[in-house]
């Protein structure tokens, strides 16, 4: 098979023998929907799931890196804007042209209804995000003042019922939206009888995203957002309840230091923390390996304690 034969096969429509001209409005609608549903939304999900703690971040000494949050928020609103423009183009094509059958045929097919459902679900995800509640946390200034610092109650820090409801529903809606958008994109390509190459290209992109997500999942990068903000200390109320969300992981500082993508500098500078049970047995908070190496009472340099 020659190169020209391969190119001819890739450019051939999905449904052979059916000639269907694609207008400029349909083409632009398809490109915008592919951008929103095939690129922006998946990236928003991946960043929020796997980048709450950044590679190279010296966690838990460095907390609450909000890069993922701003990227997730920006991609979500950008996808909504592109989605709305794409829907407007489709509506304009249906109702402002002289072809009276265009609107009927579009609303009567599966792709049209999937598109409307996806738009409504995207709105639901964003509206659900506004219901996340207050933040709170330790080391906050008194309300209405610049100090002194003290702990402030908040839905997130205290993991109230409202926050737990948000954590569950927001993630569930996000994953359902991903699946719905995938089906809507495939149905759209079938509806306009797009080329085989376009379908294969979109499939290759989604497969690449799945492989990247699988690798990051195996590396343990899906870290509980609560720990990413406030660390692993059990004094924080949210760490005393089970982590919310499928596959969400929690680590002690020592466990995190053994991850392949954790910074090497953090492993060398600070010894692993001692648990309360171990400290009670030995009567000290010094790491056990340092006590074994230098048990004498005449030590002049004590290992740095970890808080």
**Domain ranges across the chain:** 21-230
Q: Residues 63-85: what's their mean pLDDT?
A: 93
Those residues whose C-beta lies under 8 Å from the C-beta of residue 66, and which sit 6 or more positions away, are: none
Are 144 and 199 in contact, with CB atoms under 8 Å apart? no
High-pLDDT (> 90) share of the chain, %: 45
Mean pLDDT of the chain: 79
> 3-state DSSP call for residue 139?
strand
pLDDT tens across 102-128, in order? Answer: 444 455 578 888 888 988 998 999 999
Is a pLDDT exceeding 50 seen at residue 174? yes
pLDDT tens across 122-144, in order? Answer: 899 999 999 999 988 887 666 66
Question: How many distinct helices (H) and strands (E) make up the chain?
Answer: 14, 2
Is a pLDDT exceeding 70 seen at residue 295? no
Is a pLDDT exceeding 80 seen at residue 301? no
* Nearest C-alpha neighbor of 167 from the set 195, 196, 121, 129: 129
Q: What is the pLDDT of residue 7?
A: 73
Is a pLDDT exceeding 80 seen at residue 13? no
| Rounded (10°) angle between helices 67-95 and 110-129 | 140
pLDDT tier for residue 163 given thresholds of 50, 70 and 90 = very high
Residues β-bridged to residue 141: 149
Q: Residues 96-101: what's their mean pLDDT?
A: 52
Is a pLDDT exceeding 50 seen at residue 19? yes
Phi, psi of 115 (to 5 degrees): -65, -45
Domain 21-230: which CATH number of 1.10.3720.10, 1.20.58.220, 1.20.120.1770, 3.40.50.300: 1.20.120.1770
* Range list of β-strands (E), the chain: 137-141, 149-152
Q: Which long-range contacts (CB under 8 A, 24 or more apart) does 90-99 make?
A: 90/25, 90/29, 90/115, 92/25, 93/23, 93/25, 93/26, 93/29
pLDDT tier for residue 294 given thresholds of 50, 70 and 90 = very low
Is a pLDDT exceeding 90 seen at residue 3? no
Query: Left, alpha or beta for 270 (phi > 0: left; psi -120 to 50: alpha)?
Result: beta
pLDDT tier for residue 97 given thresholds of 50, 70 and 90 = low
Q: What is the pTM of this model?
A: 0.75
Q: Which of 76-85, 101-110, 179-188 has the lowest mean pLDDT?
A: 101-110
Q: Residues 218-234: what's their mean pLDDT?
A: 94
* Nearest C-alpha neighbor of 202 from the set 187, 224, 219, 215: 187
**C-alpha to C-alpha distance for 138 and 188, rounded to whole angstroms:** 49
Give the N- to C-terminal CA distance of the chain in Å, as an integer: 67
What six digits make up the tokens of 302?
């004590």
pLDDT tens across 35-59, in order? Answer: 999 999 999 999 999 999 999 899 9
Q: What is the pLDDT of residue 284?
A: 42
Residues β-bridged to residue 249: 223
């Amino acid at each position: 098979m020659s190169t020209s034969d391969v190119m001819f096969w890739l450019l051939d429509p999905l449904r052979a023998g059916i000639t269907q001209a694609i207008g400029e409005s349909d083409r632009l609608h398809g490109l915008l929907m592919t951008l929103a549903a095939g690129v922006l939304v998946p990236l928003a999900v991946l960043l929020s799931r796997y980048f709450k703690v950044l590679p190279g971040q010296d966690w838990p000494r460095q907390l609450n890196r909000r890069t993922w949050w701003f990227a997730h928020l920006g991609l979500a609103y950008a996808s909504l804007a592109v989605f709305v423009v794409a829907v407007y183009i489709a509506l304009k094509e249906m109702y402002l042209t002289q072809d009276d059958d265009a609107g009927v045929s579009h609303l009567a097919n599966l792709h049209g209804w999937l598109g409307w459902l996806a738009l409504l679900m995207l709105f639901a995800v964003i509206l659900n995000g506004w219901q996340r509640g207050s933040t709170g946390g330790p080391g906050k200034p008194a309300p209405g003042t610049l100090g002194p610092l003290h702990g402030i109650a908040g839905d997130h820090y205290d993991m109230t019922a409202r926050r737990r409801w948000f954590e569950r529903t927001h993630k569930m809606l996000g994953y359902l939206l991903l699946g719905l958008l995938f089906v809507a994109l495939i149905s759209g390509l079938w509806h306009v009888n797009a080329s085989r190459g376009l379908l294969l290209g979109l499939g290759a992109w989604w497969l690449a995203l799945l492989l990247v997500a699988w690798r990051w999942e195996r590396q343990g990068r899906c870290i509980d957002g609560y720990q990413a903000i406030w660390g692993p200390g059990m004094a924080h109320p949210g760490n005393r309840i089970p982590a919310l969300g499928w596959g969400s992981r929690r680590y002690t500082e020592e466990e995190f230091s053994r991850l392949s993508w954790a910074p090497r500098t953090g492993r060398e500078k600070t010894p692993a923390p001692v648990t309360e049970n171990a400290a009670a047995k030995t009567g000290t908070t010094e790491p056990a390996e340092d006590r074994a190496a230098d048990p004498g009472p005449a030590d002049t340099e004590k290992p740095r304690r970890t808080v």
